[in-house]
A and B are shown apart, each in its own frame.
Chain A
């Protein structure tokens, strides 16, 4: 692999950066099909959530805790 090219495969090299956590959260929280549920979280809320998440991601310990849970859950596959 070229030194100028990084490939992060979401499910395999998960633990290596906290940017991946934010990247994933960005995908899940912000996108996906919006279909009229009886309760849906509005876009305005999502932006607020991100303020908190940025803080959380920079707090390594909390981020690690989220990652650990995710790894446990993925292992269950």
Chain B
């Protein structure tokens, strides 16, 4: 390999790194390289060499437009971060953190050591779990009519009104129903967030990438929670209670994880 660059996956404590010899680790981001730990005092960065002619800014921008190329690299990054996260407290770095020189990584570990150690300490014994909230619109709309006194009364009056008037009232009912359904979803989502927050150390509401319609309905909210391993059962039970409570309104919860703690490491 001519002039290599260094791709950095995650940062752990040197003592933990010593328990995870490079030979035991999953595949690196590029086929022809192995993972290695670069250790400075108490901290160690997990890296692998990548060809500089591919991983320079210009060429990388080009490769990133190829979704398959990117997805394969991103999955390798993830596989490595997951492997380490299952075994020790680790800071996952964002995809695409690259250094040109080995000693720049050593310099970074030295310079940022205090912040990095604080993050590792904060994450110890904790995992990230995702909660996705889906809503089946048809089920929600019909449940709204049966629980809303205003809508029930309007429906009764519409049934007895003359045809022309009844038609206009029905239009009004439909519009009100949509408004009430929207408000109901927001209430449910807020309640899910508040309840699960109590079981966890931290929570983030995530952006929804695109409107995903699945067999569970439309994705309404995405959360990430920082959960102590020792209190995962309580967290899971709380999520299950919420799922049962809101099932009649067409709401479904999906629990994903454990993830490396991608959402709970702030920029330093």
State whether B93 touches A35 (Cβ < 8 A). yes
Indicate whether A25 reaches chain B with its CB closer than 8 angstroms: yes
B109 smallest CB distance to A (angstroms)? 10
B260: which A residues are within 8 A, CB to CB?
27, 32
State whether B265 touches A32 (Cβ < 8 A). yes
Task: Say which residue of B74, B83, B267 sits within 8 Å of A33 (CB atoms).
Answer: B267
Indicate whether B41 reaches chain A with its CB closer than 8 angstroms: no
The distance in angstroms between the C-alpha atoms of A51 and B263, with both chains bound, is 22
Binding stretch for chain A, among B65-73, B144-152, B192-200: B65-73
The distance in angstroms between the C-alpha atoms of A72 and B15, with both chains bound, is 29
A48 smallest CB distance to B (angstroms)? 7
State whether A38 touches B71 (Cβ < 8 A). no
- Name the CB-closest residue of A to B83: A77
State whether A70 touches B75 (Cβ < 8 A). yes
Chain A, 21-58, CB within 8 A of any chain B CB: 21-41, 45, 48-50, 52-56
Q: Given A6-B252, A41-B96, A77-B83, is A31 in contact with B262 using a C-beta cutoff of 8 Å?
A: yes
A26 smallest CB distance to B (angstroms)? 6
List the interface of chain A (C-beta within 8 A of B). 1-11, 19-41, 45, 48-50, 52-56, 62-63, 65-66, 69-70, 73-74, 76-77
State whether B104 touches A38 (Cβ < 8 A). yes
State whether B96 touches A39 (Cβ < 8 A). yes
Number of interface residues of B (CB under 8 A): 71
State whether B257 touches A10 (Cβ < 8 A). yes
> Interface majority SS on A: helix, strand, loop or mixed?
helix
In the complex, 20 of the A-B residue pairs with CB atoms within 8 angstroms, ordered by the A residue number, are: A2-B243, A4-B252, A6-B252, A7-B256, A24-B78, A28-B262, A33-B92, A35-B94, A35-B112, A36-B108, A37-B99, A38-B99, A38-B104, A39-B98, A49-B64, A49-B65, A62-B68, A69-B72, A73-B76, A74-B26
Contacts across chains A and B counted by CB atoms under 8 Å: 179
Task: Say which residue of A4, A5, A31 sits within 8 Å of B263 (CB atoms).
Answer: A31
A7: which B residues are within 8 A, CB to CB?
236, 254-256
- Name the CB-closest residue of B to A1: B240
Q: Mark B110-140, 1 if CB is under 8 A from A, else 0.
A: 0010000001000000000010000000000
From A20, A25, A38, residue with most partner B Cβ within 10 Å: A38
B64 smallest CB distance to A (angstroms)? 6
From B95, B98, B99, residue with most partner A Cβ within 10 Å: B95
A21: which B residues are within 8 A, CB to CB?
71
State whether A23 touches B256 (Cβ < 8 A). yes
From A22, A37, A48, residue with most partner B Cβ within 10 Å: A37
Chain B, 205-261, CB within 8 A of any chain A CB: 209-210, 212, 214, 216, 236, 239-240, 243-244, 246-247, 251-260
